Amino acid sequence: MRKILVIDDEQNIRRMLVRVLSSEGFIVKEAVNGLEALKRLEEENYSLVLLDLRMPVLNGIETLKKIRKNDLNLPVIMMSAYGSIPEAVEAMKLGALDYLIKPFDIEELKIIIKRAIKQYELEVENIYYREEEEKRFNFDEIIGKSSSINKVLEMVKNVSPTTATVLITGESGTGKELIARAIHKNSLRKNGPFVVVNCVAFSPNLLESELFGHEKGSFTGAIAKRIGRFEMANGGTIFLDEIGEMDLSIQTKLLRVLQEKEFERVGSSKSIKVDVRILSATNKDLKKEVEERRFREDLFYRLNVFNVDVPPLRERKEDIPLIMEHLIGKYNKILNKKVKKVSVKAMELLLDYDYPGNIRELENIIERSMIMAKDEIINEKYFNFISKETYIEKKGTLKDVEKELIIKYLVQNNTNRTKTAEILGISRRSLQNKIKEYQINL
């Protein structure tokens, strides 16, 4: 709900503005002087400020200066009973949106306020877009050189420049959003917005409003019109994470967006056209969901024009040392640490573990161990929380076990093939052949 702060030492003016603006659906708070106003602005977020020019304690110009130090975009409308041109000019130079002389026309004030808040909300949306842009990833930031991750990268490179919808599948924590961002970053829409919606984070009714927006009065609590994420993503990409959790009623509306490139806001019959590329992700088996009638078959085929399946970490353990190096660098900065490496025994533990939580779990393990680390080396004593009882039972073939052992001892011996071959009890040439056979890139 939009909040307005009225700053004026005249009680009658404050009461009149509270009454008028509250009737328009705004929450209106009051302050009798600049100091009280600045305190309120620290405690709460506001959509607009109405600021009297001449007040005791801290006048309007000084208050405006302090507001601008903390927020360059918050709209401020100055009010004064005195038509001083120099003061008006100074206020506008300091970033005031308008300067009104008391007594002002109430209807004109309403129009100015609504226009100012709308412009402010657009600026906030643009800031959201810029923040999303800063989070974009290059392919280089999808870490790994295993054959399985290289296959994923090749698929991403091929599909990114196209207009195809992409379904990204894989277990939780494998980095599906990272793949989606890479697709957007390397697409023809890279200069457009990248908007993320986690479908599991909203109830069906709220998700519908979140995706498509709503009109004022369309449901209890809808006090104003709201644009949805599809409108925000116009000209760019929308990423629907956890698509398998979407309610069937919303699936129907999403199917129409895919087919017709249009939709209606909740509470409206007016169709809105959008140009949006849809990327989605799930850790569910959507084919099974279709068979059990929890997911629309026609929507599944529309979303699954191109499928990128992200492998779990246990299937690309040769990437763990590279991911570790990246994470250590990241958390050295965050935690102000100087960790350089992990001990051989610690690495052995990390390579033995099967990571049911995938990369997200590995990152959590590294962060926790670096918090506890007292020197430049992470050793095995920090991994007590990886107990043998939590290991997933290995059910792989003999080749799977052999591959894992080769990777383990290559890492342990800093990729020294002669030493690794000796430990494994095979010739160096046999080791080379197996490295080639298993496509181990260390």
Looking from the CA of 351 toward its CB, the CA atoms found within 13 Å total 23
pLDDT value at 286 more than 80:
yes
pLDDT value at 352 more than 90:
no
Q: What is the CATH number that goes with domain 136-311?
A: 3.40.50.300
Q: What is the CATH number that goes with domain 3-129?
A: 3.40.50.2300
pLDDT band for position 371 (50/70/90)?
A: confident
pLDDT value at 295 more than 90:
yes
Greatest mean pLDDT among 79-93, 100-114, 115-129, 395-409: 100-114
Rounded mean pLDDT, 39-61 = 88
> According to the 3-state scheme, what is the secondary structure of 243-302?
HHHCCHHHHHHHHHHHHHCEEECECCCCEEECCCEEEEEECCCHHHHHHCCCCCHHHHHH
pLDDT in tens, 231-270: 889 899 999 999 999 999 999 999 999 999 999 888 888 8
pLDDT band for position 129 (50/70/90)?
A: low
CATH class of this structure's domain 314-437: mainly alpha
**What integer pLDDT is reported at residue 220 of this predicted model?**
66
Backbone CA torsion sign across 425, 431, 437, 440: positive
Query: What is the residue-averaged pLDDT of the chain?
Result: 85
Same fold across 3-129 and 136-311 = yes
**What integer pLDDT is reported at residue 394 of this predicted model?**
47
The full set of domain ranges for the chain reads 3-129, 136-311, 314-437
**What integer pLDDT is reported at residue 319 of this predicted model?**
93
CB under 8 Å to 250, separation ≥6 — which residues? 204, 207, 208, 211
Burial class (CB in 10 A: 0-12, 13-18, 19+), 60: buried
Higher local confidence (pLDDT), 426 or 407: 407
**What integer pLDDT is reported at residue 269 of this predicted model?**
82
Higher local confidence (pLDDT), 298 or 373: 298
**What integer pLDDT is reported at residue 120 of this predicted model?**
81
pLDDT value at 125 more than 80:
no
pLDDT value at 132 more than 70:
no
pLDDT band for position 428 (50/70/90)?
A: confident
pLDDT value at 195 more than 50:
yes
Cα 60 to the center of its chain, rounded Å: 38
**What integer pLDDT is reported at residue 405 of this predicted model?**
76
pLDDT in tens, 353-364: 888 889 988 998
Rounded mean pLDDT, 339-353 = 87
**What integer pLDDT is reported at residue 141 of this predicted model?**
66
